A and B are shown apart, each in its own frame.
Chain A
Amino acid sequence: MDSAPTPNSLSEELVKELDSIPEGDRIKLCIQCGTCSGSCPTSSAMDWSPRQIIAALRAGYLDEVLRTNTVWLCASCYVCTARCPIGIQFTDMMYALKRLGLKHGIDPPDTRGSRLMKEFVAEVDASGRNAEASMLTKYFLKADPLGGPANLGLAYRMWRKGRLKLRREPFAAKDQLAAISRSLGGDS
C-alpha cells in the first residue's frame, strides 16, 4: 500500500485512470439524466446510484465514493454503458474505482467484493487459472466464514455431478505469466 493519499492526489489519480479509458473524460459531459441509475439492475441496493456517483466525482468527493457499496455492486452488465446518451463508459469507470480503492486500501464497510477479487487474482497468479473450489474456499474462510457452510451442500452436489474440481489442472507456463507480471511491475 502507498502512503496515505490526500483527497487531491486521489482526484488527480482518478483523472489519470479515467484517461486510460477510451473517452473517459466524457464524465464531464454528464447531463444527470439518470438513465444509468434507472437501467442498473443492482442500483436499488446501492448507497449512491450511478447518477449520484458521477455527480459526486465531479464535485470532488472521490474518497466518499470509494467508501460506498456502489462500486462493488456493479456486476459488469454494461447496460448503463449501452444506454448512456452521452457515451460515458460507466462500467469501465467502476473498474477504475475498484482499482483505486484496492490500491489505497479504501474499502466500504462491507469488504466482501474486494476480498473476492483479491482471492481470484491470487489464484490466477499462483496457478494460471481460476481453480474455483480453491478460490471460493479461501474467500469464504477469510471474508464470510458464517456464509460459507451454507454452500457446502451445493458444493457436494456439484462435485457429485462432476462440476466441482477439487484438484488444480497442471499449468506449465507459470514462468511466462511471472515474466509478464514482472514486466508490468507486479510481484508475483
Chain B
Amino acid sequence: MSYLLYPGCALEASSSHYGKSAKATMAALGSGLRELDQWSCCGATAYVGTDEDKAVAYSARNLALAQSEGATDLVTACNGCYVMLRKANACWNASPTLQARVSKALGSAGLKYDGSVRVRHLAEVMLNDIGVEAISARVKASLSGLKVAAYHGCQISRPFDDVENAERPTVLNKLLAATEAEVVPFPMTAKCCGGMLMTTRRDVALGLVKSILACARAKGADCVAVACPLCCVNLECYQESIRSELGWDKPMPVVPFTQLLGIALDVPPEELGLDQCMVDVEPVLARYL
C-alpha cells in the first residue's frame, strides 16, 4: 500500500536524513510514501502560540489537500506535525465555532475539508499496518548485539494518547525488536527534549538533553533511536557543549529509527543518509553494514 506523506519543514532540512531513510525503509517494506503536493507548514508550536485560527487553518489546508487527492490517511514522521495536524482534525469534532471559521477560510482559498482524513505517525503505520511479523520476515541483516535506547519524545503520545500510552509509548521498542536489536529499558523515553527552548533558552534545554543522554548511557545503550526531527537535532547536535560535563570521552550516536530499520532491511547506507549523522555512527553501526 502506498501512503501520502506530509514531510514537514524539518524533514526536508535539519533532519533530511530522517526523511530520506523514511522513504527508503518504507519502500523496502513494500510500501510507498509519496509526498503531499504543495504542502505548507503545520504551524508548529510557534504558530498556535501566536494565532490559533490561522494555525489550525494552515494545518487544515494540508488535510484538505490530502482529501482532494482521495487519501484516507496522511502520514507524518514528525511528532510536532503529528500533534498540529491532529489538533486541526480535533476541531472538526470539538470546536464547531472554530471549525466554521476555518472552513470559511479554506473556502476562500478554494478548498474544502470534512474532518475525515486520519493523521498518523509513520512509526505507528509501520507497527499497525505492516506489523512486526512482516518486518521481521524481511530483515536481512540482524542488528543482534546492538543496544538501543528508544526515545519517543513527547508529542507522539501527548496530548493524543489514543494510539500510544501517554507516558509509556512502546511503538519504537516493538519496531526495533523486529530487527533483533536489544532495546534497553529507558525510563526517559517520553521526557521532553526541550523543543524550541534549544534556541531561546539553551541552558534549560541542554539540562534536559543531558539527563536524557546520561540515562541512555547508564542503561548501556550504544545509540539512541528517535522518531521526531526536533528530538533528533536537540539530542544529537549539541553534544560537544555538554560532553565534558557528562564526563564522556566519546559521543552518543542519535539516529532516526528508520535508519536502524533500513540497515536491518539491507537498504544501502547512502539511501539512509547515514553519512549525514552529526555524531559518527561508524563505531557502533559499521559491523552491521
Establish whether residues A78 and B159, one from each chain, have CB atoms under 8 Å apart when the complex forms: yes
* CB-CB nearest in chain B for A98: B49
Q: Which residues of B contact A169 (CB under 8 A)?
A: 12
Q: A75 on the interface (CB 8 Å rule)?
A: yes
Establish whether residues B9 and A130, one from each chain, have CB atoms under 8 Å apart when the complex forms: yes
Q: A124-B43, A176-B111 are in contact. Are A78 and B52 (CB under 8 A)?
A: no
* CB-CB nearest in chain A for B56: A184
Complex partner residue of B50 from A20, A121, A129, CB under 8 angstroms: A121
Chain A interface, number of residues (Cβ within 8 angstroms): 63
Q: A41-B191, A79-B154 are in contact. Are A154 and B237 (CB under 8 A)?
A: yes
Establish whether residues A77 and B192, one from each chain, have CB atoms under 8 Å apart when the complex forms: yes
Establish whether residues A112 and B159, one from each chain, have CB atoms under 8 Å apart when the complex forms: no
Q: Which residues of A contact B106 (CB under 8 A)?
A: 180
Q: B108 on the interface (CB 8 Å rule)?
A: yes
Which B residues from 200 to 215 make CB contacts under 8 A with A? Answer: 200-205, 208
> 1/0 per position for B39-70, CB-CB distance to A under 8 A?
01101111111111110011001000000000
Q: B15 on the interface (CB 8 Å rule)?
A: yes
Establish whether residues B50 and A41, one from each chain, have CB atoms under 8 Å apart when the complex forms: no
- Within the assembled complex, what's the spacing in Å between the Cα atoms of A129 and B44? 11
> 1/0 per position for B90-117, CB-CB distance to A under 8 A?
1000110110011011111111000000
Q: Which residues of B contact A121 (CB under 8 A)?
A: 46-47, 50-51
Q: Which residues of A contact B48 (CB under 8 A)?
A: 95
Q: A128-B41, A129-B41 are in contact. Are A78 and B14 (CB under 8 A)?
A: no
Q: Tell me, rounded to whole Å, the shortest Cβ–Cβ distance linking B195 to chain A.
A: 4
Report, as a range, how many residues of chain B touch the other chain: 35 or more
Establish whether residues B108 and A182, one from each chain, have CB atoms under 8 Å apart when the complex forms: yes
Which A residues from 37 to 88 make CB contacts under 8 A with B? Answer: 41-42, 45, 72-73, 75-79, 81-82
* CB-CB nearest in chain B for A179: B109
Q: A132-B13, A163-B13, A176-B109 are in contact. Are A76 and B52 (CB under 8 A)?
A: no
Q: Which residues of B contact A45 (CB under 8 A)?
A: 201, 203-204
* 10 A-B residue pairings within 8 Å (CB atoms): A42-B204, A72-B200, A75-B197, A82-B159, A82-B161, A116-B200, A124-B41, A162-B16, A183-B57, A184-B54
Partner-B contacts on A (CB < 8 A): 20, 22, 41-42, 45, 72-73, 75-79, 81-82, 89, 91-92, 94-95, 98-99, 102, 112-113, 115-118, 120-121, 124, 128-133, 136, 139, 147, 154, 157-158, 161-165, 169, 171-173, 175-177, 179-186
